[in-house]
Amino acid sequence: KAERKIWILCGIYFLLALCSLMARATADSLFLKNFDKSSIPLMIMAAAAISSVVALFITYLCARYQVYGTMKLALTALAVALAGVVVAIAVAGGKVVAVVTYMVCDVAVVTPMVLFWGLAVGVLNPKESKQWFGLIGAAGTVGCIVAGYVVSLASRSGQVDVLSLGLVTGLMLVVLCGLAKTSLFDQGEATKTSTQPTKAASTFRALGGMLGNSQALLMLSLVVLSTMVICLIDIHFKFQVAKDHEGNLNQFFGQFYTYSSFTQLVLQLFIVRTLLTKGGVITAITVLPVLLVICSVSALLFAGEKGVYAGKFICQVIFFTIEYAGLQMLFLAVKKQSRGQMKSVIDGLARPATIAASSLLITATLAFWQQDSVVRLNAVVIVAGFVWLIVAWLNYRQYLVSLVGMLDSRVIDFDDESDVLMDSRFDSQLRVSLAKASDFEAGFLADLIIGMHRPDWCPEFRAMLDKPDETLQRAGVRYLAEFGNAADREHMVAVGLANSPALRKEVVFSLGAHCTGRDFRVLEPFLDDHEPEVRCACAAALLNSGELSLNVRAGNVFYEFLHSENAADRRHAVQCLSM
The CATH number covering residue 500 comes to 1.25.10.10
Number of structural domains the chain divides into: 3
Range(s) of the domain holding residue 246: 212-413
Pair 382, 524 in one domain: no
Asked whether the beta carbons of 373 and 380 are under 8 A apart, the reply is: no
Q: pLDDT at residue 345 above 60?
A: yes
Residue-wise pLDDT for 488-517, tens only, equals 999 999 999 998 989 999 999 888 888 888
Pair 409, 422 in one domain: no
Domain annotation covers residue 196: no
Question: Which amino acid type is present at position 364?
Answer: A
Pair 373, 467 in one domain: no
From residue 559, alpha-carbon distances to 102, 563, 565, 575 in Å are: 76, 6, 12, 14
Q: Percentage of the chain with pLDDT > 70?
A: 85
pLDDT at 289: 96
Q: CA-CA distance, 467 to 463, in Å (whole number)?
A: 7
Domain annotation covers residue 207: no
From residue 488, alpha-carbon distances to 392, 465, 497, 498 in Å are: 42, 10, 14, 15
Domain annotation covers residue 558: yes
Specify the higher pLDDT residue, 420 or 575: 575
Q: CA-CA distance, 546 to 289, in Å (whole number)?
A: 56
pLDDT at 404: 65
Mean pLDDT of 21-32: 88
In sign, the C-alpha dihedral spanning 316, 322, 325, 327 is: negative
Pair 133, 38 in one domain: yes
Which of 413, 441, 456 delimits the end of a domain?
A: 413
Looking up residue 108, the CATH number of its domain turns out to be 1.20.1250.20
Question: Which amino acid type is present at position 559?
Answer: Y
Pair 352, 456 in one domain: no
Pair 289, 434 in one domain: no
**Which helix H or strand E contains 377, and what residues bound it?**
helix 373-409
Angle among Cα 243, 245, 250 to the nearest 5 degrees reads: 130
Domain annotation covers residue 203: no
Residue-wise pLDDT for 77-106, tens only, equals 999 999 999 999 999 878 899 999 999 998
Q: CA-CA distance, 347 to 340, in Å (whole number)?
A: 11
Residue-wise pLDDT for 553-574, tens only, equals 888 888 888 888 888 888 888 8
pLDDT at 213: 73
Which of 413, 429, 447 delimits the end of a domain?
A: 413
Q: CA-CA distance, 570 to 553, in Å (whole number)?
A: 18
DSSP-derived letter for residue 332 is T
Q: CA-CA distance, 333 to 402, in Å (whole number)?
A: 6
- pTM confidence score: 0.68
Question: Residue ranges of the alpha helices (H) in 437-500?
Answer: 439-452, 458-465, 470-483, 486-497
Pair 123, 91 in one domain: yes
Mean pLDDT of 334-349: 66
